[in-house]
């Protein structure tokens, strides 16, 4: 395993790092936590990205993008996560990220959904979780029943990120209750103005995310709006979630690195009892532990990304990286906040915001307990109770 970055990724890393440091971090104090970047400011940042050749980094070359490898995307996610200006669950200023399963669209669907997303004309969201089917998506009860040349969708979906900002939803539903996750779940593209689709709730959470609840009541969706093949929905959703878990791991690296850098800088200059707190063993140990854990997490995330780039099944490695990186970043943020003392609690710094945000990552995209369970199941095999 070789984690020395090739020259082109080193250059990309340095460029993104400079953009974040010079153009984004200085804007943090003037950007309200619960609001998007003002439209005029976002337009300027996006234009800067275009001018520097950083636009559509996450889009394959065949669709006009940079065609970054998954490893390259990890490098970008890591660097851009060093600023709270781009909240954890929002696209960056480098163009749309949430297109991965839309590349499965057929030619007609690409014209209506994929290409408008790439051009920034339409916003997608993804709906799989339900009130009683989160960690176990195979237990979903939302159904899609064939009715002529259409399907009638009925059920509820929860925790839909950016649902109230989306133009269409990528939703998975049960089409064959007997098969369920083994060929009985199908993915659909549903326009938000489709009769029978209603946003019936919005959750106020401890972090910046404000996800929605969707209700489908005899929502008629044309057969032509099936994404991929009939019964392929569970595989599609797992592909989406696998990339989401890797993205979480990569973003945890960026947050942890910025917090560690802040802790080191503060420890060198904060003086108590006549000496910088950097001379105190308790502070030194917190910094050392953070460096060790961050290094380990980075190796795990990079390894998983490289396996995916080789076309290998890297779900096991992604589970490991997601579990460790998201627990690691919580500890690093906590230590950095402790080193900063009362200033760490202040909204003048991003630490308290990250402290709340990273706690969610041990739950979202699969709780830590589920990650441990699937890791153990691979090692032990399926054992009976």
Active site positions, annotated: 365
The three-class DSSP label of residue 127 is strand
Angle at 31 between CA 30 and CA 36, to 5 degrees: 160
Q: Is 195 exposed, middle or buried (0-12, 13-18, 19+ CB in 10 A)?
A: exposed
Helix/strand/coil (H, E, C) string of 239-308? Answer: HHHHHHHHHHHHHHHHHHHHHHHHHHHHHHHCEECCEEHHHCHHHHHHHHHHHHHHHHHHHHHHHHHHHH
- Tokens matching residue 80: 């851009």
CA distance 205 to 203: 6
Rg value, the chain, Cα = 22
Residue 93 to residue 80: CA distance in whole angstroms: 9
Instruction: Classify burial at 146, counting beta carbons within 10 Å of its beta carbon; exposed 0-12, middle 13-18, buried 19 or more.
Output: exposed
The H or E element spanning position 335 is: helix 315-340
């Amino acid at each position: 395993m070789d984690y020395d970055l090739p020259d082109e990724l080193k250059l990309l890393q340095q460029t993104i790092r400079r953009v974040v440091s010079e153009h984004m971090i200085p804007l943090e104090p003037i950007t309200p936590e619960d609001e998007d970047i003002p439209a005029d400011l976002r337009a300027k940042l996006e234009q800067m990205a275009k001018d520097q050749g950083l636009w559509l980094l996450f889009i394959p070359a065949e669709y006009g993008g940079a065609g970054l490898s998954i490893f390259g995307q990890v490098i970008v996610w890591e660097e851009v996560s060093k600023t709270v200006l781009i909240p954890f669950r929002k696209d960056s200023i480098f163009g749309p990220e949430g297109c991965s399963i839309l590349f499965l669209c057929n030619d007609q669907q690409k014209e209506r959904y994929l290409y408008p997303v790439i051009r920034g004309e339409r916003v997608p969201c993804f709906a799989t979780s339900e009130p009683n089917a989160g960690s176990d998506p195979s237990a979903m009860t939302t159904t899609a029943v064939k009715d002529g040349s259409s399907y009638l969708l009925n059920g509820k979906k929860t925790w839909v990120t950016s649902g109230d900002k989306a133009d269409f939803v990528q939703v998975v539903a049960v089409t064959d209750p007997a098969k369920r996750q083994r060929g009985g779940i199908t993915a659909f593209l549903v326009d938000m103005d489709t009769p029978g689709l209603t946003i019936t709730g919005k959750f106020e959470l401890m972090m910046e995310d404000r996800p929605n609840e969707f209700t489908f009541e005899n929502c008629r969706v044309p057969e032509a709006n099936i994404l991929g093949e009939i019964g392929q929905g569970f595989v599609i959703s797992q592909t989406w979630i696998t990339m989401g878990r890797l993205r979480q791991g990569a973003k945890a690296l960026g947050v942890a690195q910025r917090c560690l850098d802040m802790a080191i800088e503060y420890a060198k200059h904060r003086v108590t009892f006549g000496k910088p707190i950097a001379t105190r063993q308790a502070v030194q140990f917190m910094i050392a532990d953070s460096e060790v854990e961050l290094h380990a997490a980075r190796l795990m995330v990079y390894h998983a990304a490289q396996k995916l780039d080789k076309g290998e099944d890297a779900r096991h490695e992604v589970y490991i990286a997601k579990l460790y990186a998201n627990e690691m970043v919580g500890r690093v943020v906590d230590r950095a906040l402790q080193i900063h003392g009362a200033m760490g609690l202040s909204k003048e710094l991003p630490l308290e915001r990250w402290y709340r945000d990273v706690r969610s990552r041990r739950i979202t995209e699969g709780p830590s307990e589920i990650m441990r369970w699937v890791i153990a199941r691979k090692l032990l095999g399926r054992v009976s109770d």
